[in-house]
Amino acid sequence: MISSHTECLVFRGPERSLESSSYVFFNPVGEPGCTVMAGSCAAHESIGSRVACRLALAHFSQALLDYFTRNDPTKSREDSSVAAIENAFREANRSVYQFGHSLAAGGRLAAVFMSLVYIPNSDGGASFCVGRVGSGPAYLLREGSLFPFFEAEKSLEQVPTENYLGTNSLVSVDIANVPVEPGDRVLLFSERLSEGAVNDLEVLLSDGRPPSSIEEISHVLFNDPAQVGFSFSLQVGQPTVFLPVSARM
């Protein structure tokens, strides 16, 4: 089959615990190049938020796997990533919210969440589907130019404070879906970036510079990189021919 080679890299601050920041990478359909990344961070320094962080990640991942088991995107001409990620966010929020209320802790379980789904379909087309609850930024690097997936707040203070996964029965999810081109790179950050940090990112990724690792990028962008929840990078290569298992020696 013809697909694309992908390179996935992640950085988490060494002082962040698994209870306050967790992430997963997995291939939901078992085909070359298909990638899902999901990252969850406790919204507050509390036991409830740490429970929400781990619980949200588990339920989101299971919901996404279940969806793609019922709807195989590699055998369809349509991009099902948006529907899959909407369903996964809905199930994760419902599970965390109901668990909180079962413990009489309603409203205290709160997580910041981001996910990226990249799955080519049967036509050979593909898209980056990025979803978030919270204000973590996501960027597309294409041919030396940097593009945000989401509209940035004008200032660090201009952030909705209560839109966290698990806090309410309904959650507002930002979703962006962008067609993929060979050589594209996507970067996701659990922490918000200042205007100066965005400018630094553009310089680090400018055309003509050697590729920067996600760890190097994180150390430049954040004042306290040891406390960063997660920084994620996915690089798409050129179309590649992968032999089926039956044809391998």
Q: What is the mean pLDDT of residues 70-94?
A: 85
Question: How far apart are the C-alpha atoms of 239 and 181, rounded to whole Å?
Answer: 10
Considering the chain, what is the average pLDDT of its residues?
A: 86
pLDDT on residue 220:
94
pLDDT on residue 32:
76
Q: For the segment 213-235, what is each residue's pLDDT rounded down to a tens digit?
A: 999 999 999 999 999 999 999 99
Reported confidence tier of residue 77, pLDDT bands at 50, 70, 90: low
Order the strands of the 21-26 sheet from edge to edge: 21-26, 35-42, 111-118, 127-133, 174-179
Q: What is the mean pLDDT of residues 163-170?
A: 91
Q: Does residue 200 have a pLDDT over 60? A: yes
All domains of the chain, ordered by start, with CATH? Answer: 2-247 (3.60.40.10)
Range with the poorest average pLDDT among 165-169, 175-179, 211-215: 211-215
Reported confidence tier of residue 72, pLDDT bands at 50, 70, 90: confident
Question: How far apart are the C-alpha atoms of 173 and 67, rounded to whole Å?
Answer: 18
